């Protein structure tokens, strides 16, 4: 057992002495001379970056005018003399209902009720927190929207809106059930 320890100790001493002998060599004299010569040379000069003038954007002010390389066009007003195509128009003589005071985007369907005869009523919440019962034929929204159908999940209605030419046109809209609003 002692022989094993002695052998390991002898091996360790040999390795340490070998490493010590290698570290004392002066074999780097050529490298030291090259480094000294390089440090002694004059250093280079880097020129500063050239200065650039700031870019000024050009504002084209004739964009709304005719292109200079196109011939002028004769514009004829064709829609001025046309009569409204549709005979749809809202009934302005009937009394307004409560939900016509609210914009349609401020109304939301929150549920349904079934009446005694099987009629389905929709429950509509306005933006002030009130809940109103609506059936087919009632009006809602600010565009003369008339309820044409009620199902468990949505209210179908037809709005009457201006067509931009002095007439009126019907537009289908719907309110879907908002399950979060409970």
Asked whether the predicted pLDDT for residue 181 surpasses 60, the reply is: no
CB 134 within 8 A of CB 168: no
pLDDT tens-digit series, residues 135-161 = 999 999 999 999 999 999 999 999 999
CB 122 within 8 A of CB 109: yes
pLDDT of residue 87: 78
Mean of pLDDT values over 105-119: 89
CATH topology of domain 98-176: SH3 type barrels. (2.30.30)
The most confident of the ranges 62-71, 73-82, 96-105 is: 96-105
pLDDT tens-digit series, residues 58-75 = 777 777 777 778 887 776
Name the residue with tokens 């005869």.
Answer: 117
Model confidence band, residue 116 (pLDDT cutoffs 50, 70, 90):
confident
Cα distance between residue 98 and residue 139, in whole Å: 8
Cα distance between residue 12 and residue 4, in whole Å: 13
Q: Regarding predicted confidence, which is higher, 108 or 69?
A: 108
With vertex at residue 29, the alpha carbon angle to CA 24 and CA 33, rounded to the nearest 5 degrees, is 150
Mean of pLDDT values over 160-181: 85
Domain boundaries, the chain: 98-176
């Amino acid at each position: 057992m002692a022989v094993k320890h002695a052998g390991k100790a002898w091996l360790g001493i040999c390795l340490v002495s070998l490493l010590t002998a290698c570290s004392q060599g002066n074999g780097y004299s050529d490298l030291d001379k090259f480094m000294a010569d390089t440090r002694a040379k004059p250093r280079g000069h880097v020129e500063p970056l050239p200065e650039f003038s700031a870019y000024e954007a050009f504002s084209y002010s004739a964009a709304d005018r005719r292109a200079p390389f196109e011939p002028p066009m004769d514009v004829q007003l064709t829609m001025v003399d046309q009569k409204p195509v549709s005979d749809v128009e809202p009934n302005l003589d009937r009394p307004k209902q409560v939900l016509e005071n609210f914009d349609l985007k401020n109304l939301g369907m929150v549920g349904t009720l079934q009446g005694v005869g099987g009629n389905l009523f929709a429950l509509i919440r306005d933006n002030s927190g009130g809940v109103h019962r609506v059936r087919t034929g009632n009006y809602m929204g600010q565009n003369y929207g008339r309820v044409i159908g009620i199902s468990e999940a949505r209210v179908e209605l037809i709005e009457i809106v201006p067509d931009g030419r002095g007439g009126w046109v019907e537009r289908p809209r719907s309110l879907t059930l908002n399950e979060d609003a409970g």
